[in-house]
Amino acid sequence: MKFKLIIASTPDDMTDAIADAAREEGATGCTILTNARGQGLKKAKTFLGLDLAGARDVVLILVEQHLGRRILEAIGRAGHFDASPGAGIAIMIDVEDAIGLNSQLHTIQTEIEDEI
């Protein structure tokens, strides 16, 4: 079985919407890294050296390759990535190998059975 890793950077108030959207499209879970920082085209404003930009999270979602594009598009819609500058980004990369998925493999295989 081949996997993709979706990595999304998003404002922390959108993290739950992104995780929910991924789950609705077949993701079996995600890992959320909190308090990330990022910079876009324009540097964030500061006040006395304190960053005024809101907190960001990084969401890591390991998915079976056939579900990858569908999940990527769903989280893009849920996070309004293309509609609002600074709303976040998501990328998807190939995963060469993964371990620790035994408890999820049956669910993954059942859900993608019709798509393969």
What CATH number does residue 33 fall under?
3.30.70.120
Q: What is the pLDDT of residue 19?
A: 97
Predicted TM-score (pTM) above 0.85: no
Give a yes or no: residue 79 inside a domain.
yes
Beta carbons of 10 and 79 less than 8 angstroms apart:
yes
Nearest-angstrom CA–CA distance, 83 and 37: 21
Residue 84, in any domain of the structure: yes
Residue 18's Cβ-side half-sphere holds a number of Cα atoms within 13 Å equal to 30
Residue 25 within a domain = yes
With respect to residue 22, please indicate whether it lies within any of the assigned structural domains. yes
pLDDT in the model for residue 80: 94
The answer to the question of residue 17 being in a domain is yes
- pLDDT tens profile 55-82: 889 999 999 999 999 999 999 999 999 9
Q: Which residues are registered as beta bridge partners of 11?
A: 56
Residue 9 dihedral angles phi and psi, to the nearest 5°: -110, 125
- Is 73 exposed, middle or buried (CB count within 10 Å of its CB: 0-12, 13-18, 19+)? middle
Residue 65 lies in a domain: yes
95 has a pLDDT exceeding 90: yes
Range of the domain at 88: 3-39+49-112
Answer yes or no: is 34 within a domain: yes
Structure tokens at 51: 């960053």
- What domain count does the chain have? 1
- Measured between its terminal Cα atoms, the distance across the chain in Å is 11
* Domain membership flag for residue 44: no
